[in-house]
Amino acid sequence: MTEFANMNYNRKSNYRQVILLDENGYIHDSCDSLFDSSQFTDKSIGNYFYFLASELPTIWASEANKISYNRMQTTQACLPGFYDFAFSKAVINGKRHILWEIFDYTNVYKEYIKIQQIKNEVSIHEQYLLRNKNQSVDGKPAHSENFFQSEYIAKQRKESDNLVYRLIHKEKEIGTAPAEAGLIKLNELKLHLKLMIEEIDQFVNQVKDDEFTDIYIKEVVDDYFNKEIPRHPDRIKLIYSDSLPDKVTVNKNVLTQIISLVCKDELNQIDYKSASLSLGLVQVNNDNNPILNIDYVEQLSSDINLNEDSAKRVIKLSILKSLVSTLGGRLISKYSTDNHLFGALISLPLKNC
């Protein structure tokens, strides 16, 4: 067993790799969860990763023991995506080392970038509206025809049944509305997107903490709902399957964040009919890794216009899907305009319970 493994960083993960670098930037050890590091051992790592060429001297020179760089986009063949990096200084056997943690959030940030793209385009259009407010002719802003012209949006247009597109298209119509009304609507949308981005950031950081603890799951979930909906305790029916043990080893923050992302908006809805959240545990035979199933179903009133209202929820579910996928799980969304049904089935692998 290497020194590195002794540091409890040898556990394989589907989204995290830890590399130990010596003082000269050579790889000393790696768990190789994301890529095979053996191809980069003959030279200092800075020769292979542009980013590190400039940062290693800076990290050594810094007074901080840990430095983080989030949302790094790399094109390196072994790391082709979006990652969060953290560098910690460590002394092992009297020698200085750097622990390089790589968190693969490619799936998550691919969703993030879509929201950021819309938010930025909304902001740019808002700026044009503001500028043209006093210069408009017949109340029509001059730049509305340029609204949402990006490649991403154009792609969405081709997907006629895409709810994200419907949301955007709805807001696009604002471009022809009087400037004042358009500004208010755009500001609302921008704030909504900003909150969504903050939720992603929060979730990503909680996942990174990687703190798995034994919890009494029913108590944790009950507590969460008591805090979130104290005035409406019956709005969501909680169902605990017989398969769910009292104690489960789980990242508590991640669990409550998932439940929050899937249920919270709906909790604030006034007009919905009923909803249920079921939790159960499934044992998988091949690696004895239990899977937590979280099944959320919401039956909405027939007078709610799902096409307009649900677009934002669907965006959120697509983010959650990428987050769950990063954690090695799966999310199947449930959506039916005919039956006014909305929900998600999430399967999340856990540590042994």
Using CB under 8 A, list all residues that contact other proteins: 50-51, 53-55, 57-58, 61-62, 67-74, 82, 109, 112-113, 116-117, 120-121, 123-124, 127, 130-131, 149-152
Q: Name the residue nearer to other proteins (CB basis): 40 or 296.
A: 40
3-state DSSP helix/strand/coil percent for the chain, to nearest 5? 45, 25, 30
Q: How far is CA 76 from CA 44, 73, 80, 133, in A?
A: 16, 9, 5, 46
Q: Name the residue nearer to other proteins (CB basis): 147 or 296.
A: 147
Residues 6 or more apart from 349 whose CB is under 8 A from it? 284, 289, 290, 291, 292, 327, 328, 329
Which two structure tokens, joined as six digits, stand for 188?
A: 């609302």
Q: Name the residue nearer to other proteins (CB basis): 207 or 248.
A: 207
Q: How far is CA 290 from CA 62, 102, 221, in A?
A: 42, 26, 18
Residue recorded with tokens 């305009």: 337
Nearest to 118 by CA among 46, 169, 44: 169
Which two structure tokens, joined as six digits, stand for 278?
A: 């079921």
* Minimum gap (Å) between residue 36 Cβ and other proteins: 22
* Minimum gap (Å) between residue 126 Cβ and other proteins: 9
Which two structure tokens, joined as six digits, stand for 124?
A: 């740019």
Measured distance CA(85)–CA(103) in Å, rounded:
6
- Axis-axis angle for helices 106-132, 306-326 (nearest 10): 140
* Minimum gap (Å) between residue 116 Cβ and other proteins: 5
Q: Name the residue nearer to other proteins (CB basis): 154 or 282.
A: 154
* Minimum gap (Å) between residue 49 Cβ and other proteins: 9
Do residues 254 and 351 lie in contact, with contact meaning Cβ atoms separated by under 8 Å? no
Q: Name the residue nearer to other proteins (CB basis): 131 or 312.
A: 131
* Minimum gap (Å) between residue 135 Cβ and other proteins: 13
Rounded to the nearest 5 degrees, what angle is found at the Cα of 342, between the Cα atoms of 340 and 345?
A: 150
* Minimum gap (Å) between residue 114 Cβ and other proteins: 9
* Minimum gap (Å) between residue 69 Cβ and other proteins: 5
Q: Name the residue nearer to other proteins (CB basis): 29 or 111.
A: 111
Measured distance CA(192)–CA(315) in Å, rounded:
11
Do residues 255 and 220 lie in contact, with contact meaning Cβ atoms separated by under 8 Å? yes
Q: Name the residue nearer to other proteins (CB basis): 72 or 345.
A: 72
* Minimum gap (Å) between residue 322 Cβ and other proteins: 14
Q: Name the residue nearer to other proteins (CB basis): 40 or 272.
A: 40
